[in-house]
């Protein structure tokens, strides 16, 4: 009799684990995973969307868009840079982006806005890589990497700091802001001084 009762209990527990409670547990785990990795997922979805868009419409618009086309490469390989003008141009554009980012972080829907920004950035990356690969094969990936490095290492770090700013204690927000400013300046400096040289060297390799 005891054996039968134990068997019934085991069968009931198995059924419960495999039934609704188990589905609820799986749903909770999935929700937790999506919440934890929402920015990576937004980036991934953006890359997919950008890649799809470029493959659908990019082939017929390479010259119209001018994205990594031969005219762009010729211009970049022959241009003589005025570093002072380039500095102010890059600084103005990056400070503008930082201002937009700061405004986003002041709103009550900053989480949604940051997800949208991340997704849009992923879409841009998907378009850039797709258009470059269409024209130069796998060497196009190297060209895109050269056009983004090393400055976007610093800018991405600032983005990550902005995303996590709500978790920073009030007494640590001033040092965090100072660190972000240093990273932005480092990004601008590398974008002006290092990136053009890197891009030119890659262009000479593939063009």
Residue 79 has pLDDT above 80, yes or no: no
Q: Where are the domains of the chain?
A: 1-36, 38-206
Residues, the chain? 207
Q: Which residue has the tokens 């990273």?
A: 183
Q: What is the pLDDT of residue 22?
A: 64
Q: Is the CB of residue 158 less than 8 Å from the CB of residue 98?
A: yes
In this predicted model, which residue has the larger pLDDT, 8 or 81? 81
In this predicted model, which residue has the larger pLDDT, 8 or 120? 120
How confident is residue 8, by pLDDT bands cut at 50, 70 and 90? very low
User: Distances from the Cα of 198 to the Cαs of 134, 148, 195, in angstroms?
Assistant: 21, 10, 5
Q: What is the pLDDT of residue 47?
A: 96
Q: What is the pLDDT of residue 100?
A: 86
Please say whether the dihedral angle defined by the alpha carbons of residues 95, 101, 102 and 104, taken in this order, is positive or negative: positive
How confident is residue 44, by pLDDT bands cut at 50, 70 and 90? very high
In this predicted model, which residue has the larger pLDDT, 72 or 38? 38
Whole-number average pLDDT of the chain? 84
Q: What is the pLDDT of residue 74?
A: 82
Q: What is the pLDDT of residue 105?
A: 80
In this predicted model, which residue has the larger pLDDT, 73 or 121? 121
pLDDT per residue over 132-156, tens digit each? 999 899 999 999 999 999 999 999 9
């Amino acid at each position: 009799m005891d054996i039968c009762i134990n068997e019934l209990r085991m069968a009931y527990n198995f059924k419960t684990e495999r039934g609704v409670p188990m589905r609820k547990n799986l749903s909770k785990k999935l929700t937790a995973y999506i919440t934890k990795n929402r920015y990576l997922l937004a980036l991934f979805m953006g890359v997919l969307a950008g890649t799809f868009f470029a493959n659908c419409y990019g082939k017929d618009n390479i010259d119209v868009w001018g994205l990594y086309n031969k005219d762009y490469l010729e211009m970049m390989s022959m241009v003589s840079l005025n570093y002072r003008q380039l500095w102010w141009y890059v600084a103005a554009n990056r400070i503008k982006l930082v201002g937009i980012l700061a405004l986003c972080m002041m709103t009550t829907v900053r989480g949604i806005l940051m997800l949208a920004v991340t997704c849009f950035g992923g879409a841009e990356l998907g378009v850039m890589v797709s258009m470059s690969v269409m024209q130069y094969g796998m060497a196009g990936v190297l060209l895109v990497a050269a056009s983004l490095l090393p400055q976007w290492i610093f800018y991405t770090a600032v983005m990550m700091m902005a995303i996590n700013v709500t978790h920073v204690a009030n007494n640590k927000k001033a040092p965090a802001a100072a660190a972000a400013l240093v990273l932005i300046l480092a990004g601008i400096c590398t974008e002006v001084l290092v990136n053009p040289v890197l891009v030119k060297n890659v262009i000479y390799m593939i063009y």
